[in-house]
Amino acid sequence: MSAIRSNIEIYIPRILGNVSRTNITRAFNNLNIGNTAKIDMHRKVNENGHRYSFAFIRLELYNTGPAERLKTLLNTKGVMHLVYDEEAFQYWEVKQHVPKNSRKRVDNAPIQPREVAKIIINKWNDTVPECKISYCGITQQDRIDMIEEYEELQREISQLIC
């Protein structure tokens, strides 16, 4: 495994109910991002009775391209989507952790549109936007488009159910 380069504190606000600490640790290790030094995971139940978790994680980043991209995106955008199961299109929204005493108060602040950096890190290529390889005739742009369409369908289904 690659040498540890630095540490980073992250926050994942929504984790599927069947995902465990072990799954999280394996995902960051398998994606060649880093070791999970600490996971502070909390379970909740949403308004529909479905279980989910949120977690505060301290990562010991490897000295790898995927780890560097994660750190860079979080430092520049503050939030990103990390696909941990490409086949099932499962991803986490990963945010840079801001300690409670350092957070700004947002009671009456206007809602600003935010830009979310999307990244897919997997075993075959480091990131979708930077890779030009195609698999089975599907280009990387096709993959990005499919993920965006999938996310739109998820939003539409959620609106119909709720």
Tokens of 127: 């990131």
Q: Which is more confident, 25 or 2?
A: 25
48 pLDDT exceeds 50?
yes
Place of tokens 């499919």: 146
- pLDDT recorded at residue 123: 44
128 pLDDT exceeds 60?
no
Taking residues 30-51, report their average pLDDT: 92
Tokens of 105: 């108060």
42 pLDDT exceeds 90?
yes
Using DSSP's 3-state secondary structure scheme, residue 50 falls into coil
Spatial CA neighbour of 92 closest among 81, 79, 103 = 81
Q: What is this structure's pTM?
A: 0.63
Segment (H or E) for 43? strand 34-45
Spatial CA neighbour of 2 closest among 31, 25, 34 = 34
- pLDDT recorded at residue 4: 65
Find the length of the chain.
162
- pLDDT recorded at residue 10: 95
- Spatial separation of the C-alpha atoms in residues 74 and 96, rounded to whole Å: 6
User: Could you tell me the domains of the chain?
Assistant: 4-101+113-124 (3.30.70.330)
Place of tokens 């880093």: 34
User: Which residues are CB-neighbours of 34 under 8 A, at least 6 positions away?
Assistant: 4, 8, 28, 59, 60, 61, 62, 67
